[in-house]
Amino acid sequence: RSRESSKEGGFEQPGLVEGVPAHSKAGVPAARAPAWPMAGSQHPADGCSCRNTNCVERPLRRLFEGLGSGVAACPWPFVLVPLLLSGGLGAGFLFLPQRQDNDIERQFTPTGGPAKAERDFVRQHFPTNDSEHFSVWQLPTEGAYAALIAVAADGNSVLAAEARHDVLKLDEAVRARGYEQRCARSGGVCASPNPLLPLLCDAAVAALGELTFPVSGTLFLGTALGGVRTDAGGRVLSARALKLVYYLREDGPAAAESRQWLEEFLQAAPELAAMNFSSIQVTYFTSLSRQMEFEANTRSVIPLVSITYFLTITFSVISCLRLSCIRNNVWLACCGVVSAGLAVLSSFGLLLFCGVPFVVTVANAPFLILGVGVDDMFIMIASWEQSLRKKDKSDVKSLLAETYSEAALSVTITTLTDVLAFFIGTWTAFPSVRSFCLYTGTAFVFCYVYTMTFFGAIIVLNHKREQGNRHWLTCMPVGVDKEQAKKSCLYNACCIGSCSGQSSQPEGEHPMSMFFTKYYGPFLTNKWIKPLVALLYGAYLGGSIYGCTQIREGIDLRNLASDDSYVIAYYDDDDKYFSAYGPCVMVVVTESVDYWNETVRLGIENCTQDLEGISYIDKNLSRSWLRAYTEYAKQQSLNINDNGTFISNLTGLFQYVPTFEWDVNKTHDKIEASRFYIQTVNVTSAIDEKNLVNQLRETAKQCSIPLMVYHPAFIYYDQYLVIVQNTIQNVIIAAGAMLVVSLLLIPNPLCCLWVTFAIASVIVGVAGFMTFWNINLDSISMINLVICIGFSVDFSAHISYAFVVSREPSANDRAIEALSLLGYPVLQGAVSTILGVVVLAAAKTYIFRTFFKIMFLVILFGALHGLVFIPVFLTFYGSFCGTPHKTKSKTEAPRYRDDKDCP
């Protein structure tokens, strides 16, 4: 993340033009926030002008000057109060166990999704009874269950003798753990985990030779057998996999017992899967697995936080090292990292006190805050050291006032843009995104406050140590006398930073700054290189737009578990062998209609056929009580065109097919609601899921009968309805807010336009390249796209502003000067932010890896725009503005021969 850091490593860049802010002239200005001159220092007019709008910026500077003077006058309260405040608010972490809310459905599905209302309707009108009439098709939820997939080893068939025996042993081992006492029941017996189990014993093996697929008699085998090979007549020749699903009761007090049984099953499952099976391989899963694995993700990232702090402190210390034992800023670097840590402690503690849910996605926030806090630290140190060169070092109040007037505005603007981006991100339908944005946005506010108070006071205290000529580590007085000059080289190097016994001298210009001035800048502005850069940008933009058209939507539920979880192995087997047949969808008639009216029945039948006509539906596998009743009436010669006859004869149908009774919600004289079922096929990807739910709902909506389609999986499919809309809405609103902030606080409208261009370009690039890096557009990546808006401001603002205020005679020279001032800090800011999140690349969880990937793309493309595209495009623009006259006074604004409106 590029930030202004006007002096890096103690190296000074002399000879910079007037009109560039003081903290920029030292050589490492903040690439994170726009660097602009004092009000009136560049342009003769001090008031508001249409070209340089400093009406807001100027009073802000005065405000920060007063704050700096106050901190310098009495630093200790500004050190102690943040520490005490952080300690008090940090007590909020005591509520962390109560505030953790990692319910996958609640956090990662849209609030107010249609499927949730549909589920409530089904629950109300079709209550379940797991102890007496359980049916998996009729469940309003996915139920409580343990599932095992037995795959035949070495490419054999799971219906072969040895594999059958192993499957029976596996079933016996599960039942031996008390399953029979907690199982879901229908007709007084446990629901069968697989309809083929009775046929696997040797006595009934002959029946296996008569099996047809996917339906054999009254048995539906589409979800029971996988990897099936059939002959021309549909007869089963072999099958690679067999699924066992053990459903448990969820009604009443049995729910707690079922959960306990599932937890015990998960503890014993590795043992079951590793039993002495020679012919099958077993993977397992339960209805609790996804949630339990997801909750474990937070614990897995905790060790990475310590690594991040180590990397950040190391980078900060190296950046602030000096050869002088007095001027060394190691403690400043450490306190800058501590300031970021205090911000995390305070913000998280405050929100935990306030009862804001703590979701696993929030665990990404400390990595981000660390990078931002370190960049703010560099800005403050750089501006402070520049002030030391211009003013009396003994006047601390004046020094810190000037430091704040220069650095605080940069920190303020970038913090404001970031906080706005995050708080706008709370306007989303996904609770996990809201929680992340609340925690992170609040942490940014605390990070800003502590930088302005705690870290500013540390700068003052460190300066007093330097004024007292005290060692940076021991704080002992350091003096150079004849006796000390006789000491060993090692002693003198440690004490005064020089083997000779003489105090070390200020360092020269930083080599990286010289590289950008003498080599990179002239190379980039070469007339043969600029067309290549334009072509490179065209390729970048073309690839990004293509990627945006191919982006995949929705979160894959397997990604909520860690890579080495048993859940992944089960999902792989399930996708490989059982993906041909998808959800069995309920079609619900939601109002009381005249079923005895033949016209109404015909309307229902037509609607059913329309639904069956969808490409994702197998019309041969539909199950309708009304169709069955119509056939039953014909067989019994019943006239069901009368209300009383229709209602009274339903009892006969229910005796014929008992489960139909629970598909009809009837009172004495009318049917309040009813449902039937359609079987989906070939729903194998996120696109299929999106198309399925959209086509089903659209078809049901067009029906003359009030219909509703529902399946528990639709709870998760609903994300496809809002994810793109929410993302675009947040991006547009946040980008608009960034533009308004830029226009108000950056005193150059042209610079604001280039900032807006960079925001749009970086967002398109990140969204497009997500496709090439296998990142879906989901609630997790949406978080990062919101972050992208705030961060993309940082890289472009300084380069464009340094270009438009430059007094060099040509566009190329202005671009070279902008790069010489800002090239190294842009690079440094990018590195510091990458260090803050790089350890997440090693995470075993999709959530944290996705955060790293998108942050890497944001930093990469942001730096690419700041260091390559923007400088070259500005030279194209500058060629139309003419060449500025050389002015007699450096404080006089340049005049243009060709276009007086050009800056």
- CA dist 310 and 315 (Å) reads 9
Instruction: Quote the pLDDT of residue 484.
Output: 52
pLDDT in tens, 511-540: 777 888 888 989 998 989 999 999 999 999
Q: What is the pLDDT of residues 706-743, one digit of tens each?
A: 999 999 999 989 888 888 888 888 778 877 777 777 77
Confidence of residue 602 (pLDDT cuts 50, 70, 90): very high
> Is 893's pLDDT higher than 50?
no
Q: What is the pLDDT of residues 240-299, one digit of tens each?
A: 999 999 999 988 778 889 999 999 999 998 888 777 788 999 999 999 998 888 888 767
Which pair of tokens denotes residue 37?
Answer: 């001159």
Contact of 65 with 829, CB cutoff 8 Å = no
Q: With contact defined as beta carbons under 8 Å apart, do 361 and 37 qualify?
A: no
Contact of 8 with 510, CB cutoff 8 Å = yes
pLDDT bracket for residue 413 (50, 70, 90): confident
Query: Between 552 and 81, where is the model more confident?
Result: 81
Question: Position of tokens 């890289």?
Answer: 795
What is the Cα–Cα distance from 73 to 69, expressed in whole angstroms? 6
Residue 494: predicted pLDDT? 56
Query: Structure tokens of 875?
Result: 């030279």
Render pLDDT for 316-346 as a digit per residue (tens, 0 to 9). Answer: 777 777 666 777 777 888 888 899 899 999 9
| Number of structural domains in the chain | 1
| 372 vs 162 pLDDT, higher one | 162
Q: How confident is the model at residue 573 (pLDDT cuts 50, 70, 90)?
A: very high
Is 361 a member of any domain? no
pLDDT of residue 542: 94
Task: Return the higher-pLDDT residue of 393 and 594.
Answer: 594
Pick 752 or 893 by higher pLDDT. Answer: 752
Q: Does the pLDDT of residue 506 top 50, yes or no?
A: no
> CA dihedral defined by 459, 460, 466, 472, rounded to 10 degrees?
-40
Cα(679)–Cα(583) distance, rounded to whole angstroms? Answer: 7
Cα angle for residues 107, 111, 116 (degrees, 5° grid): 100
Give 395's contacts (C-beta < 8 A, 6+ positions apart). none
Among candidate residues 802, 793, 855, 791, the one with its CA nearest the CA of residue 824: 802
Q: Six-digit token pair at 335?
A: 């306190």
Strand positions, DSSP E, 74-136: none
Banded model confidence at residue 777, pLDDT cuts 50, 70, 90: confident
Q: Measured between alpha carbons, how far is 512 from 499 in angstroms, rounded to an integer?
A: 27
Q: By C-alpha distance, which of 392, 338, 458 is closest to 75?
A: 458
Predicted local confidence at residue 885, as pLDDT = 42
Residue 324 confidence (pLDDT): 67
842-850: average pLDDT: 83
- Is pLDDT of 485 > 60? no
Give residue 590's pLDDT. 94
pLDDT-based confidence at residue 53 (cuts at 50, 70, 90): low
Instruction: Give the 3-state secondary structure of residue 726.
Output: helix
889-892 long-range contacts (CB < 8 A, ≥24 apart) are 890/17, 890/18, 890/19, 890/807, 891/18, 891/19, 891/41, 892/44
Query: What angle is formed at CA 790 by the lines to CA 377 and CA 356, rounded to 5 degrees?
Result: 90
DSSP state of 505: P
In a domain, 241, yes or no: yes
**DSSP letter string, 446-466:** HHHHHIIIIIHHHHHHHHHHH
The span from the CA of 111 to the CA of 1, in Å, is 33
Q: Is the dihedral of CA 40, 45, 49, 52 positive or negative?
A: negative
In a domain, 213, yes or no: yes
CB-facing half-sphere around the CA of 113: CA atoms within 13 A: 28
Residue with token string 């006239």: 639
The pLDDT score that the predictor gives to residue 562 is 85
Instruction: Please tell me the number of Cα atoms within 13 Å of 849 on its side-chain side.
Output: 16
Residue percentage of the chain with pLDDT more than 70: 84
In the predicted structure, residue 132 carries a pLDDT above the cut 60:
yes
Q: CB-based contacts of 474: which residues, under 8 Å, 6+ apart? A: none
CA separation for the pair 795, 784 (Å, rounded): 17
Whole-number pLDDT of residue 799: 76
- Signed CA dihedral, 797, 798, 802, 805: sign only: positive
754: in domain: no
Above 90 in pLDDT, residue 204?
Answer: no
Please state, rounded to an integer, the average pLDDT across all residues of the chain: 81
Please give the Cα distance from 832 to 308 (Å, whole number). 11
Residue 30 predicted with pLDDT over 60? no
**The predicted structure's pLDDT at residue 672:** 93
Ranking 66-70, 205-209, 411-415, 810-814 by mean pLDDT, the lowest is 411-415
The reported pLDDT for the residue numbered 496 is: 52
> With bands split at pLDDT 50, 70 and 90, how would you rate the model's confidence at 495?
low
Please indicate whether residue 217 or residue 239 has the higher confidence score (pLDDT).
Answer: 239
Is 858 a domain residue? Answer: no
What pLDDT score does 42 carry? 41
389-398, 625-634, 659-668: range with lowest mean pLDDT = 389-398
In this predicted structure, the answer to whether residue 49 has a pLDDT above a threshold of 50 is no
Is the model's pLDDT at 833 over the cut of 60? yes
Over residues 222-230, the mean pLDDT reads 93
Is 252 inside any structural domain?
Answer: yes
Tell me how far apart the alpha carbons of residues 705 and 739 are, in angstroms, rounded to a whole number.
50
The pLDDT assigned to 563 comes to 84
To which H or E segment does residue 386 belong?
Answer: helix 365-390
Amino acid, res. 464: K
pLDDT above 70: residue 39 = no
In Å, how far are 165, 220, 244 from 241, measured between CA atoms? 14, 15, 10
- The DSSP code for 477 is B
Residue 15 has pLDDT above 60, yes or no: no
Residue 177 sits in which domain range?
Answer: 143-286
DSSP labels for 61-88?
Answer: HHHHHHHHHHHHHSHHHHHHHHHHHHHH
- Look at residue 174 and tell me if it is in a domain: yes
Exposed, middle or buried: residue 848 (CB in 10 Å: 0-12, 13-18, 19+)?
buried
Structure-block tokens of residue 416: 């404001």
pLDDT reading at 422 higher than 60: yes
Burial-class residue 866 by CB neighbours within 10 Å (0-12, 13-18, 19+). Answer: buried
> C-alpha distances in angstroms, 249 versus 139, 178, 243, 579, 650?
12, 13, 20, 26, 28
Give me the percent of the chain exceeding a pLDDT of 90: 37
The C-alpha angle with vertex 546 and arms to 541 and 551, in degrees rounded to 5, equals 120
Q: DSSP string of 841-893? A: GG-SBHHHHHHHHHHHHHHHHHHHIIIIIHHHHHHHHHTTS--BPPPSSTTSP
Tokens matching residue 171: 């079933």
Structure tokens at 357: 């849910």
Residue type present at position 162: E
Count other C-beta atoms under 10 Å from residue 230's C-beta.
Answer: 15
- In this prediction, residue 513 carries a pLDDT of 72
Residue 791 CA to residue 789 CA, distance in Å, equals 6
How far is Cα 229 from Cα 237, in angstroms, rounded to an integer? Answer: 6
What is the DSSP code (8-state) at residue 215? Answer: E
Q: Residue 480: pLDDT above 60?
A: no
Determine the residue type at 220.
F
